[in-house]
């Protein structure tokens, strides 16, 4: 158990004491105690930075189920560390923010922090696990804790709806991903990501490669809210704002990004990977930014914006996988896409986190998040306004903030896709830069809406529940820190490049580096009059024009996107699923015993009939047959008549007596076939059962006496079918004797070993006495059952 | 109105002993001839039922003051006990043995432990038959 394992498990362990802290230390906000965990973890993880720039991953193992190849193996390289720092760093800020956001008296804080810590530990586990099964376990933990966090205010209908939706979608993806992992295991024979990457070149041609790729991508796309699975994210905004800021902007939704980046060395050899990842990413980018413009709720804007930005990172990862086709590191122009993905990942976490916190402040101080009610808050909340403007401008990709840099790199990556000469990208690749450019315009518009509709314009006090004022300082500190990072990374991007971006890139593209080598990244503001710069200028011009004329053209949203809203498909699909399964179940679970018997017998006929037919098992062998005497023939005729009378009798009494005749005929058969014990028993038992039948007959109520004999075709077919099948089976089994009977042993040994001349009795009490013992137990149970059914008639007692 | 069943009652009294005696015979010779605990138990019950048909429950309970449910339990215990007895001799469950002894009146007689087991079967069968008939007969 290394320190890394303890670091992952620390949040889980801390959840155990949170309820006690909440219960017994009421005067201090529980969040202050919780804050210690992410801060310490952050400090712990930051010390790995030194070693990593030397490209030295750290790997530790604790055995879990070694016989199945499942171990708790941790692996720290640039990518893991980047995510671990994001999780713990933003986690600390979110906990600090939540201390001021959630009221000590009104909220169930222990629940909140337990779920949050569970989530944090799970997320650390996801990014630090080297074993796919461990990774999957932590992955589902994040789904679960996210489910609970979204439904934190569980008395609200919408929270429950959002939680259920996110649960269904992410768990669907999680299961697909597990299936993909298992396929990877089948192909490579190991669950360790390191070893799978090492075995990767050999599996590209494997027939399970594409299924595994698609299944893993399903997991990544659902978790990272890619089109068309993004629909859960806007509904997850019913969660408390710190949760939205943490889970649904900075960490959980990036788990899919992490997975794609992590498995890039495995899958990036195929055209499917590039097209799927880049294609879905770019569609998500466009659709998210397009949908964000029409939203009126601030958090909904941010949700769609997150969807869009995640799509951007995803498409960059997809495009960057092209780098692996050109094995040289020098002038490999696709590496820049990976650089952009990693850089934007950091940038997005900083500005989106801060924007969520800003929105939370606005919500907290005014009581609403509806931009139609808000306006003119600039003078009331100048600090919040400043934070919002920096965050939004960075999101829109304006200089001098970090969003500008990553957006430039993004354009560079996208422009270079069109130059690829593989996988038909030379024809269709041109769509990438165009979609990226259009999406950036929409990104610009919603970023402006977010700031200017909220903070400028007319102040409408009559629509607000509270009088707005500046937030408390504790609530402002976390967004201030994030925003200063936005600015710092904007001005000094190379602070990051050496320490974290290069190791992360080395982790995503391991094959390109020689030993001891590392990527050389230099991000600069000014790189000449390139096409990217003109694209940005175009975004700026068109964006401003469109924003100013927003009222004239946003009518298209009224009838266009509603028809395409995927929520309709989701809701309708759920309803359809529920209804059709109810209908299906109702159609065969009728509650009528006759129907169930029909299924059972039909199944019986089909299975046995088919196996007799398919295995060619039917065979009649007449060599081993005894001659038929007169007595047997007569008795058989009596038996058949008795059976027919039983079926076709008009009254019950006739049926019962005919059944008795059948029973006595059977005992005569026993006499004929020399089974005296059986004959005696059959005689007495038949007498008793006929008497019991008569008893039942006598007690049947008048009304229910139904003397009609209904002959149904289906019943006829089924019963004749069963009869025929059994006859065929009996004939076949009689004709194919595969092994000798063991009865000769009993014949020889019943007197010498059992001391009796009655072989039947010796078998019953001696050779196979245990059967008899349980049979008399059965009889005893039956007697007690009859006794208690008759004596303990509670219903009647209650009525009387 | 109660009819006078004098002929039935007289015959039942005598025949009952014949039936029960025969049932003992069938039970005891079961090891060598057709019969055994099961059929013997059923015949004993038949004898008791004959008495029951001629008289009524009250008479039956004074003549045979047995709770038949307990008879079932005793029978099961006997059967299981005869099986467990084999543990005392270090042999597997339900291992039977037999031997020939010279008994005072009967002469050379075979005694088998399987008979103990069969006695259990006999008692259970008598018990369950009578329990079922008693339960159904006493209900209205």
Taking CB atoms and an 8 Å cutoff, what residues of chain A touch B120? 773, 776
Q: Do A676 and B34 touch (CB under 8 A)?
A: yes
User: Which pLDDT tens digit goes with each residue over A744-788?
Assistant: 888 888 888 877 888 888 888 888 888 999 999 999 999 999 888
| The predicted structure's pLDDT at residue A705 | 46
**A chain contacts of residue B50, beta-carbon cutoff 8 Å:** none
**Preferred mutation among B101, B124, B134 to probe A, highest tally of A CBs within 10 A:** B124
Give the percent of chain A with pLDDT over 90. Answer: 17
Q: Which residues are CB-contacts of A234 (< 8 A; sequence separation ≥ 6)?
A: A300, A303, A304, A307
Half-sphere exposure of B9 toward its Cβ, with a 13 Å CA cutoff? 8
Q: Which of B38, B83, B94 sits opposite A681 (nearest CB)?
A: B38
Handedness of CA A752, A756, A760, A764 (dihedral sign): negative
Quote the pLDDT of residue A54: 63
Give me the count of residues in chain A.
800
Q: In this predicted model, what pLDDT tens digit does every residue of A601-658 receive, in sequence order?
A: 999 999 998 988 888 877 787 777 888 889 999 999 999 999 999 888 877 888 889 9
Q: What is the pLDDT of residue A181?
A: 92
State whether B83 and A766 contact (CB < 8 Å). no
Q: Characterise A190 by phi-psi region: left (phi > 0), alpha (psi -120 to 50), beta (else).
A: beta
Q: List the Cα angle A664/A666/A668 in 5-degree steps.
A: 75
Quick one: what percent of chain A has pLDDT higher than 70? 90
Q: Which residues of A touch B128 (CB under 8 A)?
A: 779-780, 782-783
Q: What is the pTM of this model?
A: 0.80
pLDDT at residue A14 above 80?
yes
Using CA atoms, how far apart are residues A492 and A485, in angstroms rounded to an integer? 10
pLDDT at A182: 92
Q: Which two tokens stand for residue A27?
A: 């005067």
**Quick check: A769 and B38 CB within 8 A?**
no
For residue B103, the surrounding DSSP H or E stretch is: strand B98-103
Partners of A60 in the β-ladder: A74
**Is it the case that residue A252 has pLDDT exceeding 60?**
yes
**A485-543: pLDDT as tens digits:** 888 888 887 777 777 887 788 788 777 666 556 666 666 655 667 777 888 888 888 88
Within 8 A of B127 by CB-CB distance, chain A residues are: 780, 783
pLDDT band at residue A664 under the 50/70/90 scheme: very high
CB atoms closer than 10 angstroms to residue A155: 7
DSSP A174-227: HHHHHHHHHHHHHHHS--BHHHHHHHGGGTTTSTTHHHHHHHHHHHHHHHTT-T
Residue A330's pLDDT is what? 56
Whether A11 shows a pLDDT value over 80: the answer reads: yes
Contact A758 B83 (CB under 8 A): no
Our separate counts of H helices and E strands in chain A read 37, 2
pLDDT of A353 over the 50 cut: yes
| Chain A residue set in contact with B, beta carbons under 8 Å | 676-677, 680-681, 684-685, 688, 692, 695, 754-758, 760-762, 764-766, 769-770, 772-773, 776-777, 779-780, 782-784, 786-787, 790-791
For Cα atoms A154, A157, A162, give the angle at the middle one, nearest 5 degrees: 80
Please, what is the average pLDDT of chain A?
84
Alpha carbons within 13 A on the beta-carbon side of A762: 22
Average pLDDT on B30-40 reads 87
The 3-state DSSP class for residue A578 equals helix
- CB count within 10 Å of CB A186 equals 12
Instruction: Identify whether the C-beta of residue A505 lies closer than 8 Å to the C-beta of residue A78.
Output: yes
CB-nearest to A765 from B118, B128, B139 is B118
Task: List Cβ neighbours of A564 (8 Å cut-off, separation of 6 or more).
Answer: none
CB contact under 8 A, B112 and A756: yes
Predicted pLDDT at A432 = 81
pLDDT at A321: 80
CA distance B31 to chain A (A): 5
Do residue A765 and residue B129 have CB atoms under 8 angstroms apart? no
Instruction: Determine whether the interchain pair A769/B94 forms a contact, defined as Cβ–Cβ distance below 8 Å.
Output: yes
Label residue B25 by pLDDT band (50, 70, 90): very high
The shortest CB-CB distance from A783 to any of B26, B43, B131 is to B131
Cα torsion angle, A514, A518, A520, A521, sign = positive
Q: How far apart are CA B42 and CA A334, in angstroms?
A: 93
Mutate to test the interface with B, among A681, A751, A769, A784 (most CBs of B within 10 A): A769
| pLDDT recorded at residue A426 | 60
Query: What value, to the nearest 5°, has the Cα angle with vertex A614 and ends A611 and A618?
Result: 75
Helix, strand, or coil here: A325? helix
Euclidean distance between CA atoms A403 and A482, whole angstroms: 13
CA distance B138 to B131: 10
- Residue B2 binned pLDDT confidence (cut-offs 50, 70, 90): low
Give yes or no for B77 touching A (CB within 8 A): no
Q: Is the omega angle on the peptide bond into residue A79 within 30 degrees of 0, that is, cis?
A: no
Q: Helices in A492-530 by DSSP H: which ranges? A: 494-496, 502-508
Q: What is the pLDDT of residues A145-154, one digit of tens each?
A: 999 999 888 8
Smallest CA–CA distance from A674 into chain B, residue: B34
Q: How confident is the model at residue A557 (pLDDT cuts 50, 70, 90)?
A: low
User: What local confidence, expressed as pLDDT, does residue A524 receive?
Assistant: 64
Retrieve residue A143's tokens.
């789904």
Is the pLDDT reported for residue B77 higher than 80? yes
Q: What is the pLDDT of residue B44?
A: 92
| CA count, 13 A, side-chain hemisphere, A11 | 29
Of residues B91 and A523, more confidence is placed in B91
> How far is the alpha carbon of A591 from chain B, nearest alpha carbon, in Å?
30
Mean pLDDT over residues B78-102, rounded?
A: 83
Q: How far apart are CA A367 and CA A234, in angstroms?
A: 20
Backbone angles phi, psi at A137, to 5 degrees: -60, -50
Residue of B nearest to A681 (CA): B39
Chain B CB contacts of A755 under 8 Å are 31, 96-98, 110, 112, 114
For helices A255-267 and A298-320, angle between their N-to-C axes, nearest 10 degrees: 10
- In degrees, rounded to 5, the angle at the alpha carbon of residue A487 between the alpha carbons of residues A483 and A489 is 110
Please list, in sequence order, all residues whose beta carbon lies within 8 angstroms of the beta carbon of residue A527, skipping any fewer than 6 positions away: A408, A533
| B92 in contact with chain A, both atoms CB, cutoff 8 A | no
pLDDT reported for residue A171: 92
Residues A748, A752, A755: CA angle, nearest 5 degrees: 120
CB < 8 Å to B80, chain A: 773
Q: For A301-312, write each residue's pLDDT tens digit.
A: 889 999 999 999
Higher pLDDT, A176 or A63: A176
Q: How far apart are CA A481 and CA A488, in angstroms?
A: 10
Chain B residue closest in CA terms to A787: B135
CB spacing of B79 vs A755 below 8 angstroms = no
**Residue A542, C-beta contacts closer than 8 angstroms, at least 6 positions apart:** A441
pLDDT tens digits, one per residue of B45-60 = 988 888 888 888 888 8
Tell me whether residues B33 and A780 touch, CB distance under 8 A: no
Pairing of β B107-112 and β A58-65 = unpaired
Would you call B34 an interface residue with chain A, using a CB distance cutoff of 8 Å?
A: yes
More reliable by pLDDT, A282 or A468: A282
Q: Residue A711 has what pLDDT?
A: 53
Q: What is d(CA A366, CA A142) in angstroms, rounded to the nearest whole number? A: 32
Tell me what pLDDT residue A536 has. 83
Pairing outcome for strands B107-112 and B98-103: antiparallel
Average pLDDT of span A20-24: 85
Question: What are A679-729's pLDDT values in tens digits?
Answer: 999 998 898 888 888 877 777 665 444 544 555 777 888 889 999 999 988
Contact across the interface for A783 and B139, Cβ inside 8 Å: no
Distance of CA A668 to the CA centre of its chain: 66
| In chain B, residues 41-70 whose CB comes closer than 8 Å to chain A | 42-43, 46, 69
Q: Looking at CA atoms only, how far is residue B56 from chain A in angstroms?
A: 18
Q: What is the pLDDT of residues A48-57, one digit of tens each?
A: 887 766 667 7
Residue B128, strand partner residues: none
Neighbours of A215 (CB within 10 A): 21
Whether A468 and A380 have beta carbons less than 8 Å apart is answered as yes
Q: How far is A776 from chain B (nearest CA, A)?
A: 6
Best of A756, A758, A760, A790 to disrupt the B interface (most B CBs within 10 Å) is A756
Query: Regarding predicted confidence, which is higher, A11 or A707?
Result: A11
Answer yes or no: do A758 and B72 touch at CB < 8 A. Answer: no
Report the greatest alpha carbon distance in chain A.
Answer: 116
How many A/B residue pairs have CB atoms within 8 Å? Answer: 125
Tokens (6 digits) for A48? 């790995």
Q: Which residues of B touch A787 (CB under 8 A)?
A: 69, 131-132, 135
* Closest-approach residue (CA) in chain A for B137: A695
Beta partners for B17?
none
Q: Is the pLDDT of residue A179 over 90?
A: yes
Looking up tokens 């006859």, which residue turns up?
A727
Q: Which two tokens stand for residue B68?
A: 């038949």
What is the C-alpha to C-alpha distance for residues A659 and A651, in angstroms, rounded to an integer? 13
* Chain A hits for B121, Cβ within 8 Å: 765, 772, 776
């Amino acid at each position: 158990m290394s320190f890394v394992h303890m670091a992952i498990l620390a949040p889980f362990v801390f959840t155990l004491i949170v309820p006690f802290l909440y219960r017994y230390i009421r005067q201090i906000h529980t969040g202050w105690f919780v804050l210690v965990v992410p801060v310490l973890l952050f400090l712990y993880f930051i010390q790995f930075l030194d070693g990593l720039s030397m490209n030295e991953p750290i790997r530790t193992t604790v055995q879990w189920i070694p016989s199945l190849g499942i171990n708790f193996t941790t692996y720290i390289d640039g990518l893991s560390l980047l995510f671990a720092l994001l999780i713990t760093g933003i986690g600390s800020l979110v906990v600090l923010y939540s201390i001021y956001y959630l009221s000590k008296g009104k909220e169930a804080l222990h629940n909140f922090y337990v779920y949050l810590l569970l989530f944090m530990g799970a997320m650390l586990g996801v990014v630090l696990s080297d074993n796919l099964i461990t990774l999957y376990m932590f992955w589902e933990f994040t789904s679960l804790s996210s489910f609970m966090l979204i439904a934190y205010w569980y008395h609200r209908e919408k929270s429950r709806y959002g939680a259920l939706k996110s649960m269904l979608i992410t768990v669907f993806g999680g299961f697909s991903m597990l299936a993909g992992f298992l396929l990877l295991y089948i192909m490579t024979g190991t669950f360790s990501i390191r070893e799978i990457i090492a075995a990767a070149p050999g599996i590209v041609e494997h027939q399970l490669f594409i299924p595994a790729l698609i299944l893993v991508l399903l997991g990544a796309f659902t978790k990272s809210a890619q089109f068309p699975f993004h629909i859960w994210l806007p509904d997850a905004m019913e969660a408390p704002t710190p949760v939205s800021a943490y889970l649904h902007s900075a960490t959980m939704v990036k788990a899919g990004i992490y997975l794609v980046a992590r498995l890039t060395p495995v899958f990036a050899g195929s055209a499917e990977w590039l097209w799927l990842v880049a294609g879905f990413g770019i569609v998500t980018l466009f659709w998210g930014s397009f949908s964000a413009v029409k939203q009126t709720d601030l958090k909904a804007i941010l949700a769609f914006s997150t969807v869009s930005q995640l799509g951007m990172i995803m498409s960059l990862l997809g495009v960057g996988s092209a780098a692996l086709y050109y094995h040289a590191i020098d002038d490999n122009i696709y590496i820049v896409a990976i650089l952009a993905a990693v850089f934007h990942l950091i940038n997005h976490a900083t500005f989106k986190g801060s924007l969520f916190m800003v929105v939370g402040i606005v919500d907290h101080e005014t009581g609403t998040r509806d931009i139609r009610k808000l306006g003119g808050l600039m003078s009331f909340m100048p600090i919040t306004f400043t934070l919002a403007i920096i965050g939004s401008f960075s999101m829109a990709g304006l200089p001098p903030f970090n969003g500008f840099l990553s957006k430039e790199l993004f354009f560079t990556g996208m422009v270079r896709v069109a130059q690829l000469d593989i996988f038909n990208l030379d024809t269709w690749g041109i769509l990438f830069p165009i979609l990226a450019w259009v999406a950036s315009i929409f990104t610009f518009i919603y970023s402006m809406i977010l700031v200017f509709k909220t903070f400028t314009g007319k102040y409408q006090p009559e629509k607000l529940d509270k009088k707005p004022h500046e937030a408390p300082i504790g609530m402002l500190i976390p967004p201030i820190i994030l925003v200063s990072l936005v600015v710092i990374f904007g001005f000094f991007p190379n602070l990051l490049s050496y320490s974290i971006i290069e190791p992360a890139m080395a982790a995503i593209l391991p094959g390109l580096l020689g030993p001891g080598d590392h990527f050389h990244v230099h991000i600069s503001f000014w790189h000449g009059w390139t096409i990217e710069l003109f694209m940005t200028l175009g975004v700026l011009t068109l964006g401003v024009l469109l924003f100013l004329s927003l009222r004239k053209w946003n009518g298209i949203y009224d009838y266009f996107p509603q028809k395409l809203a995927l929520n309709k498909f989701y809701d309708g699909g759920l309803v359809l699923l529920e209804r059709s399964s109810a209908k299906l179940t109702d159609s065969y679970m009728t509650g009528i015993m006759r129907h169930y018997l029909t299924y059972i017998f039909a199944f019986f006929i089909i299975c046995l009939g088919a196996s007799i037919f398919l295995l060619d098992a039917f065979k009649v062998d007449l060599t081993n047959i005894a001659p038929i005497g007169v007595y047997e023939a007569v008795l058989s005729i009596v038996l058949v008549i008795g059976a027919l009378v039983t079926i076709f009798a008009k009254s019950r009494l006739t049926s019962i007596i005919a059944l008795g005749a059948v029973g006595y005929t059977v005992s005569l058969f026993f006499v004929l076939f020399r089974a005296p014990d059986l004959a005696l028993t059959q005689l007495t038992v038949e007498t008793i059962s006929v008497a019991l039948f008569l008893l039942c007959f006598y007690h049947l109520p008048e009304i229910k006496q139904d003397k009609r004999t209904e002959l149904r075709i289906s019943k006829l077919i089924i019963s004749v079918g069963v009869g025929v099948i059994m006859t065929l089976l009996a004939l076949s089994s009689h004709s194919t004797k595969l092994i000798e009977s063991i009865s000769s042993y009993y014949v020889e040994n019943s007197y010498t070993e059992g001391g009796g001349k009655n072989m039947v009795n010796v078998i019953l009490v001696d050779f196979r006495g245990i059967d008899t013992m349980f049979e008399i137990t059965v009889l005893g149970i039956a007697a007690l059952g009859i006794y208690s059914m008759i004596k303990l008639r509670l219903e009647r007692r209650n009525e009387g | 109105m109660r009819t006078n069943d004098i002929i039935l009652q007289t015959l039942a009294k005598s025949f009952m002993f014949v039936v029960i005696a025969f049932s003992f015979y069938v039970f005891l010779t079961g090891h060598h001839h057709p019969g055994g605990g099961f059929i013997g138990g059923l015949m004993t019950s038949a004898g008791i039922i004959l008495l029951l048909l001629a008289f009524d429950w009250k008479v039956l309970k004074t003549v045979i003051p047995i709770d038949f449910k307990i008879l079932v339990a005793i029978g099961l215990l006997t059967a299981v006990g005869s099986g467990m007895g084999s543990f005392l001799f270090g042999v597997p469950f339900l291992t039977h043995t037999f031997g020939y002894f010279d008994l005072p009146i009967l002469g050379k007689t075979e005694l088998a432990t399987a008979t103990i087991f069969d006695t259990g079967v006999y008692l259970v069968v008598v018990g369950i038959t009578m329990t079922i008939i008693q339960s159904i007969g006493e209900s209205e």
